[in-house]
């Protein structure tokens, strides 16, 4: 039974109390300890409370009489015992509050969070009636956890953390008793007597004769004082036993759990042909062999089964019995594994500030489901090596494409060693989070605001805009970006296209400079966007229709689906192209026209911070259907036409370049000179000037150029300027590759990518590109076209059956989405009918499938997640990471990547992580320490799923200046 310890009071001291410490230690024990003759041998068996109290009292009295004959020893014994008693009294007095409860002490309990982990909670014991019978899994576990009263704290101190953990892990723990306070004094005395008996048994150096004599002398004196306490102890034991039927009933209900219809979290309801397999899996779960878990905090009874196709009509006992099975399986885990998981969860919960109010967040029902709907031939989705043979050469990574670039870190090998030493970034220690100490404050972009690197540039570097390009720190920052004062949750789409909160983007320079051109205005607490621009003051939609009427081959939303908007401003052009079923990749530099890309993203329009400077854009060749430049002020003719030749690289053969600028329609001297230079350059590039049209409403003109679809013009040029690129110049190499003023040949063979135009949208979304060769293996090992099709069906099942209904995400509040490790773009394709757009990121160390994504009519870019992404903070509503973090750990630390996730996700935004269980656990720990709300965790067979939502929390301390 649990024990309480009460310090002796000075007003009631008697000789027997004076000669005993807080545990009831007799003078004989004290003297033997001082004389150095104590032993560590363990006593024999345990005794009952009554007999222990009787024998202990007898032994104590006998020992006191025996040693009283020696005056010196008695004096030493009294002094020692009194000293120990005083210290104990002072220590315990501070822990007793005015109401008689233990005020200073805390009770440590376990809270079940996932099947693979327990989390510590620290709370003060309260006097209250026992809770009502639990109706759900976590409530059963909470009741068991709260059954540990402050009595047990003394036992934990005496027996160590291992015994405490073993006791807490028991899901059958007993709840607190109502008369805990009333029986406190008797319980403490009985506990002290039992402890004294145990100590005397362990000591073992008192002769049996002395003990027997002492027992006979003290037995009569102790009978009166111990009889009542023994009776009380027996009554307590009976009261504890009375709690057993309730717990046994819960366990019985657990064993009678009905077979709730399992539905794959990735694949929907299982087919009838899989019924046998499903039955075998359920039998494994019944026998404790399954490895699934699903955690949902603060769920409500009425939501059980919502969104998962579960049997809502089943009794409540059947709903929570499955969780009881999970708890029993948790106890069967190895001791070391359970302890390490508990430590990790304890750190996370303590950082997160303890429990979260259930009313503060929506809930998702708790259930057991299959984690991964494996693709045929994919098994665990292991990707085929890109260097394994001739078959896989088509899947070379962007890193392979860029193997000759030297602008990146020169110490690749040493960086890998440092990354290995970092061990994933999470470690076992609590992270000391601090705010970034930078001039840019809430707008900090690590790779664009690296002041130290920019200061090292030479004057000629500035001429080529290299100071606006990426200059990433050697190590990813681990500080957190602060929120702007008065930050509010963003306006939802489509209203956000017209207005955003001024407090979220508190910049007025564009209002002052471009307000008359209807870019952006301030209206009360909003920034409003009338839809205008420098070249379309009277609205983007009219301008978009004007472009299509000028060149019929454009055909918005059918032939032209993917557009690159250069120098986008606040991206009104791209924002209104959505009305024509077109998606635009807009970009502009982070320069004196402050926050233009930030405003675009706040509006819910795709955009990145980039500049056409000295390096290639992070896109493959021949992927954009149309490139647009409206008064973008780019010197296209400078440096041998290097910048326009970069657009030629990314433009699809047969695609349009639309140039809407003053040199097209004005006759000023400077404009005339630029027009002549541009005309000569475009002719030498074999671009066809299709037409020049003037928009009377806006008073502007636009020139329409088309890229050739054959190499005939290149071969018949009188001057080979610009020159053709050498054969070893890979047009698809884009990551940190310097610009080269040359042109690549146009593909003409039907099997070559870019030789034919994709089928019309939206058929191109689901149709495998015609250049995918069936003789080449796809990313997951099957023939490439089949691999593509299977991946598409896989993500359709995942999104339709799980993501849209099963994760508890309010999709009406989601607009900007990023797939952090896209492969074929299947996730984005499956989200087509939602009012969102997806930035598909293909990692530089993964198979180079970004051309396929563009071929499908989607947008994306290359990126290395060991570096910061080129976007402003708080610009995405949802991040999707499929097997990203387990791959990252092979190259760099996970910690800076999680910090980057925290930087670019808006407060209230989410991340969905699908990965190996170990990687997901590490990410979960870091997100908890960042005070993210971990809404759901789920694991099975080494795979795991995590859904977490970002809070408004920011630390108070500042980091060292960057």
Domain endpoint, select from 716, 742, 771:
716
706 & 835 share domain: no
DSSP single-letter state for residue 803: I
pLDDT at 194: 52
pLDDT of residue 195: 55
DSSP code for 481: P
Instruction: Write the pLDDT tens digit of every residue in 647-694.
Output: 999 999 999 999 999 999 999 999 999 999 999 999 999 999 999 999
The verdict on 667 and 788 lying in the same domain is no
Whether residue 140 is contained in a domain is answered as no
CATH number of the domain bearing residue 578: 3.40.50.150
Low-confidence residues of the chain: pLDDT under 50: 1-61, 87-188, 190, 202, 204-230, 232-233, 237-247, 249-278, 280, 282-342, 344-372, 374-381, 385-393, 406-428
The answer to the question of residue 680 being in a domain is yes
Radius of gyration of the chain from Cα atoms?
Answer: 36
> What does the pLDDT look like over 47-88, one tens digit per residue?
444 444 444 444 444 555 555 555 666 667 666 666 655 544
Statement to judge: residues 698 and 803 lie in one domain: no
Distances from the Cα of 355 to the Cαs of 57, 212, 260, 346, 928, in angstroms?
46, 55, 29, 12, 12
Residue 741 and residue 338 in contact, taking contact as beta carbons nearer than 8 Å:
no
Handedness of CA 683, 685, 690, 696 (dihedral sign): negative
pLDDT the model gives residue 397: 86
Task: Name the pairing type of β-strands 651-660 and 263-264.
Answer: unpaired
> pLDDT tens for residues 400-419?
776 555 444 444 444 444 44
**According to the model, what pLDDT value does residue 174 have?**
38
Give the span between the Cα atoms of 651 and 583, in whole angstroms. Answer: 15
Domain coverage including residue 609: 535-716
Query: Is residue 358 domain-resident?
Result: no
What's the confidence (pLDDT) of residue 71? Answer: 66
**Contact (Cβ atoms closer than 8 angstroms) between residue 124 and residue 155:** no
**Looking at 698, 716, 734, which one is the last position of a domain?**
716
Residue 782 shares a structural domain with residue 929: yes
HEC assignment per residue over 916-945: EHHHHHHHHHHHHHCCCEEEEEEEECCEEE
Q: How many domains does the chain have?
A: 2
Burial readout 413-426 (b: 16 or more C-beta within 10 A, e: otherwise): eebeeebeebebbb
* 961 within a domain of the structure (yes/no): no
Whether 210 maps to a domain, the answer reads no
Do 666 and 808 lie in a common domain?
no
How far apart are the C-alpha atoms of 556 and 578, rounded to whole Å? Answer: 10
CB of 797 within 8 A of CB of 804?
no
Residues 695 and 627 in one domain: yes
Are 897 and 930 in contact, with CB atoms under 8 Å apart?
no
821 and 689 housed in the same domain: no
Confidence (pLDDT) at 395:
72
Whether residue 700 is found in the same domain as residue 776 = no
Contact 267, 372 (CB under 8 A): no
Q: Is 885 exposed, middle or buried (0-12, 13-18, 19+ CB in 10 A)?
A: buried
pLDDT attached to residue 424:
41
Is position 469 within any domain? Answer: no
Is position 758 within any domain? Answer: no
Do 586 and 685 reside in the same domain of the chain?
yes
Shared-domain flag, residues 684 and 819: no
Q: Summarize pLDDT for 744-784 with one digit per residue, the tens.
A: 999 999 899 999 999 999 999 999 999 999 999 999 999 99
Nearest partner of 622 among 651, 643, 583, judged by Cα: 651
Q: Tell me the per-residue pLDDT of 785-821, one tens digit each, with 9 for 90 and over.
A: 999 999 999 999 999 999 999 999 999 999 999 999 9
DSSP state of 845: T
Domain finish residue from 716, 750, 782: 716
Question: Does a structural domain hold residue 836?
Answer: yes
Co-location of 909 and 790 in the same domain: yes
Q: How far apart are CA 700 and CA 538, in angstroms?
A: 11
Q: Within this chain, do residues 850 and 770 fall inside the same structural domain, yes or no?
A: yes
User: HEC string of 9-23?
Assistant: CHHHCCHHHHCCCCC
């Amino acid at each position: 039974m649990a024990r309480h310890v009460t310090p002796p009071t000075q007003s009631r001291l008697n000789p027997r109390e004076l000669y005993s410490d807080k545990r009831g230690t007799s003078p004989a024990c004290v003297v033997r300890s001082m004389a150095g003759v104590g032993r560590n041998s363990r006593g024999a068996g345990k005794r009952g409370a009554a007999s222990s109290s009787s024998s202990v009292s007898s032994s104590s009295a006998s020992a006191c009489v025996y040693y009283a004959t020696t005056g010196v020893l008695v004096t030493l014994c009294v002094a020692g015992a009194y000293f120990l008693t005083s210290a104990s009294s002072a220590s315990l007095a501070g822990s007793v509050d005015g109401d008689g409860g233990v005020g200073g002490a805390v009770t440590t309990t376990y809270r079940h969070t996932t099947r693979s982990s327990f989390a510590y909670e620290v709370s003060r014991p309260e006097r209250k009636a026992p809770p009502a019978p639990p109706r759900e899994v976590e409530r059963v576990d909470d009741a068991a956890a709260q059954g540990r009263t402050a009595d047990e704290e003394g036992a934990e101190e005496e027996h160590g953390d291992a015994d405490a953990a073993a006791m807490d892990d028991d899901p059958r723990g007993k709840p607190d008793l109502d008369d805990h306070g009333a029986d406190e004094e008797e319980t403490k005395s009985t506990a002290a007597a039992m402890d004294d008996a145990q100590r005397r048994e362990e000591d073992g150096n008192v002769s049996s004769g002395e003990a027997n004599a002492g027992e006979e002398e003290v037995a009569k004196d102790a009978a009166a004082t111990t009889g009542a306490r023994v009776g009380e102890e027996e009554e307590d034991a009976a009261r504890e036993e009375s709690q057993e039927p309730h717990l046994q009933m819960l366990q019985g209900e657990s064993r009678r759990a009905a077979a709730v219809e399992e539905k794959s979290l990735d694949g929907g309801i299982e087919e009838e042909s899989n019924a046998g397999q499903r039955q075998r899996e359920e039998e494994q779960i019944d026998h404790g062999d399954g490895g699934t878990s699903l955690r949902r905090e603060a769920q409500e009874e009425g939501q059980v089964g919502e969104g998962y196709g579960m049997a809502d009509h089943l009794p409540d006992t059947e709903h929570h019995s499955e969780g009881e099975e999970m708890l029993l399986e948790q106890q069967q885990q190895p001791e070391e594994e359970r302890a390490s998981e508990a430590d990790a969860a304890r750190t996370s919960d303590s950082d997160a500030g303890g429990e979260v109010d259930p009313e503060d967040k929506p809930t998702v029902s708790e259930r057991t489901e299959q984690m991964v709907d494996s693709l045929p031939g994919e098994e665990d989705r292991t990707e085929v090596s890109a260097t394994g043979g001739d078959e896989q050469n088509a899947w070379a990574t962007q890193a392979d494409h860029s193997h000759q670039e030297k602008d990146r870190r020169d110490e690749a090998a040493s960086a890998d060693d440092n990354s290995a030493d970092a061990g994933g970034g999470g470690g076992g220690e609590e992270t000391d989070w601090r705010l970034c100490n930078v001039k840019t404050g809430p707008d900090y972009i690590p790779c664009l605001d690296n002041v130290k690197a920019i200061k090292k540039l030479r004057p000629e570097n500035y001429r080529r805009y290299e100071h606006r390009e990426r200059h990433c720190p050697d190590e990813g920052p681990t500080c957190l970006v602060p929120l702007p004062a008065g930050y509010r949750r963003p306006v939802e789409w489509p209203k956000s296209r017209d207005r955003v909160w001024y407090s979220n983007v508190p910049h007025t320079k564009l209002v002052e400079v471009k307000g008359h051109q209807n870019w952006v205005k301030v209206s009360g607490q909003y920034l409003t966007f009338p839809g205008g621009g420098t070249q379309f003051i009277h609205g983007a939609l009219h301008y978009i229709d004007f472009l299509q009427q000028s060149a019929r081959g454009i055909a918005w939303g059918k032939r032209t689906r993917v557009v690159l908007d250069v120098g986008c401003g606040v991206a009104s052009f791209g924002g209104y192209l959505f009305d024509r079923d077109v998606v635009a990749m807009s970009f502009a530099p982070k320069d004196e026209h402050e926050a233009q890309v930030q405003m675009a993203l706040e509006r819910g329009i795709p955009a990145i911070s980039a500049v056409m400077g000295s390096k290639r854009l992070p896109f493959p060749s021949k992927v954009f259907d149309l490139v647009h430049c409206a008064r973008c002020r780019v010197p296209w003719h400078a440096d041998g036409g290097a910048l326009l030749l970069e657009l030629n690289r990314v433009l699809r053969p047969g695609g349009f370049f639309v140039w809407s600028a003053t040199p097209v329609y004005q006759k000023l001297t400077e404009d005339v000179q630029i027009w002549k230079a541009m005309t000569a350059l475009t002719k030498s590039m074999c671009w066809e000037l299709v037409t020049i049209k003037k928009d009377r409403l806006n008073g502007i003109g636009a020139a329409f150029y088309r890229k050739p679809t054959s190499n005939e013009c290149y071969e018949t040029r009188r001057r080979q300027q610009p020159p053709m690129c050498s054969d070893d110049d890979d047009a698809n190499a884009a990551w940190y590759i310097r610009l080269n003023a040359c042109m690549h040949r146009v593909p003409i063979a039907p099997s070559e990518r870019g030789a034919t135009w994709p089928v019309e949208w939206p058929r191109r979304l689901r149709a495998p590109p015609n250049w995918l060769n069936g003789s080449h293996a796809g990313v997951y090992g099957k023939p490439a076209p089949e691999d593509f099709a299977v991946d598409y069906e896989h993500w359709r099942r995942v999104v339709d059956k799980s993501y849209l209904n099963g994760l508890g995400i309010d999709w009406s509040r989601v607009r900007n989405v990023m797939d952090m490790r896209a492969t074929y773009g299947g996730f984005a394709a499956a989200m087509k009918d939602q009012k969102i757009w997806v930035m598909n990121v293909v990692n530089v160390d993964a198979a180079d499938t970004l051309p396929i994504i563009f071929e499908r009519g989607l947008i994306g870019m290359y990126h290395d997640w060991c570096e910061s992404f080129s976007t402003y903070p708080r610009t995405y509503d949802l991040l999707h990471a499929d097997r990203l973090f387990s791959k990252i750990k092979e190259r760099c630390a996970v910690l800076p990547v999680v910090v980057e996730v925290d930087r670019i996700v808006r407060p209230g935004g989410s991340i969905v992580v699908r990965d190996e269980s170990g990687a997901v656990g590490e990410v979960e720990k870091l997100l908890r320490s960042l005070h993210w709300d971990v809404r759901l965790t789920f694991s099975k067979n080494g795979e795991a799923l995590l859904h977490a939502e970002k809070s408004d929390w920011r630390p108070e301390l500042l980091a060292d200046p960057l």
